[in-house]
Amino acid sequence: MRTTNELRRCAKDVFGSALKAIEPARLIKENVKLKGQTLEVAGRRYDLREVRDVFLIAAGKASAPMAQALEGILGERLSGGIVVVKYGYGLRIKRARVIEAGHPVPDRRSVAAANAVLKLASDAGKQDLVFCLLSGGGSSLLCGLPEGVTIGDLKSLTRLLLASGADIKEMNTVRKHVSLVNGGRLARALYPARVINLIISDVVGNRLDMIASGPTLPNETTFEDAVEVLSKYNLIKKAPRSICSYLERGVRGIDDGGPGKNDPCFKHSQTHLLGSNVLALEAAEERAEALGLNCIILSSSITGEAREVAAVLVSVAKEVLANGRPVPRPACILAGGETTVTLNGRGMGGRSQEFALAAALGLEGSSHHIVVLSGGTDGTDGPTDADGAVVDTNTCRRARKKFQLDAADYLSRNDSYHFFQKAGGHLFTGPTRTNVMDIMMALIG
């Protein structure tokens, strides 16, 4: 039997292994190799003697370390590129221009970045090869404004969508259709250059055209879908008029909404999903097994209200205790995905901290050692400096006895951050410059 302290250490260790597996530089190095004039990308070979220039375009939270690692591999063979990152996320990259821009709400620099990328695309010819390095966050970093739409309009739209409760797929369905870059339009601009998409997914179910609003992937949505999302969240009247009339023109067929999968512009393009929640979970599983824990991965596409999903994870942990199922003790139950929090209070927190606090309440009174960890792979949880928290069967009791904290009260006010600030248990990971959603786990001693 493992003590609570041992389990807490194991949980952090397992989480650390998950994060390591999705480091952008590592993913690039594992998947891209250059031997002489032969480039190997995720097992597929390219003869660089047939290629004139190699460019890179990178957009998203992970774009800087992905680009830096790719430059390290390609060296002088890289002719140039554009790397668009969130403010403060820039890294030194010799052969590419690094542009910092607004996220999650775009700004003028996002427009400048889109224009620079479109310029590069139009310069790239048939004999050129363009790496497109895409990760979550790209939608707001690259904003090619359609005629009549201002950056102010796009900022308003983004703020409305962020506050609406629309999920990332719904948001990006709209953003794809108010753009000269997204929804495959960049692929069209790049044509006839060869394109290799390397992607780190922050989307449940890894729908590739949704990541960074899919600038170089076939568009699987329509103007009608975009209008439907606005209508679903009652945004038709609130959204800027320029955007609504642009979408209406689209519905009437004046624009095609971005190239579909049979469009010739995708003929010379390959796409590789390098990093995802599944990869992080598999690394976590491997580490947990090395630590002697019996492992099971429930799902990499968990969604739902954080506190409810936490209750389900706790009930599985209790089943391990009661009946040695679904795996015998000592056990590690893993899950990944992205939960949501419905705000009822004015507290401070994030979905991972709220998950952990709800789990602590569910674990209270259990006679056996159980630890639950919940953390974001991007290193931050909500608008806080923490990334999540680790709790055990004694967390609530200790908080009550030692600090007079009522965990249920903190949860009801969505104030998980302040609970853990006072009671201890926060995970402080710091920005990881990558994102494959969240990891949750229960360890049973």
Side-chain-facing half-sphere of 374: CA atoms under 13 Å: 30
CA 144/CA 404 separation, integer angstroms: 53
116 binds a copy of itself (CB under 8 A): no
Among 18, 28, 302, 359, binds a copy of itself (CB under 8 A): 302
- Return the range that interacts with a copy of itself (CB under 8 A); candidates 79-87, 101-109, 312-320, 372-380: 312-320
- Return the range that interacts with a copy of itself (CB under 8 A); candidates 47-55, 130-138, 152-160, 319-327: 319-327
Residue entry with tokens 């952990």: 356
Alpha-carbon distance values, 323 to 60, 311, 326 (Å): 45, 18, 8
Among 51, 319, 400, 431, binds a copy of itself (CB under 8 A): 319
Q: How far is the CB of 178 from a copy of itself (least distance, A)?
A: 24
Residue 105 or 327 with smaller CB distance to a copy of itself:
327
315 binds a copy of itself (CB under 8 A): yes
Residue entry with tokens 């003028």: 108
Binding residues for a copy of itself restricted to 331-350, rule: CB under 8 A = 337
Residue 142 or 279 with smaller CB distance to a copy of itself:
279
Q: How far is the CB of 312 from a copy of itself (least distance, A)?
A: 5
52 binds a copy of itself (CB under 8 A): no
CA 175/CA 154 separation, integer angstroms: 9
Alpha-carbon distance values, 132 to 66, 81, 103, 193, 413 (Å): 10, 10, 19, 12, 43
Binding residues for a copy of itself restricted to 175-214, rule: CB under 8 A = 205
Q: How far is the CB of 371 from a copy of itself (least distance, A)?
A: 18
312 binds a copy of itself (CB under 8 A): yes
Q: Which amino acid type is present at position 206?
A: N
Backbone phi and psi for residue 134, each to the nearest 5 degrees, phi listed first: -115, 140
Q: How far is the CB of 273 from a copy of itself (least distance, A)?
A: 12
Measured from the Cβ of residue 45, the count of other Cβ atoms closer than 10 Å reads 10
Q: How far is the CB of 335 from a copy of itself (least distance, A)?
A: 8
Q: Which amino acid type is present at position 99?
A: I
Alpha-carbon distance values, 46 to 72, 164, 194 (Å): 18, 45, 11
Q: Please, which contacts does 157-166 make with residues 24 or more away whose CB atoms are closer than 8 Å?
A: 157/239, 157/240, 157/243, 158/104, 158/105, 158/106, 159/105, 160/233, 160/235, 160/238, 160/239, 161/233, 161/235, 162/104, 162/105, 164/233, 164/235, 165/233, 166/229, 166/232, 166/233
Rg of the chain (C-alpha set): 23
- Return the range that interacts with a copy of itself (CB under 8 A); candidates 72-80, 208-216, 263-271, 323-331: 323-331
Residue 144 or 362 with smaller CB distance to a copy of itself:
362
278 binds a copy of itself (CB under 8 A): yes
Residue 79 or 206 with smaller CB distance to a copy of itself:
206
Among 41, 59, 316, 440, binds a copy of itself (CB under 8 A): 316
Which residues form the interface with a copy of itself (CB under 8 A)? 205, 278, 296-305, 308-309, 311-312, 315-316, 318-319, 322-323, 325-326, 337
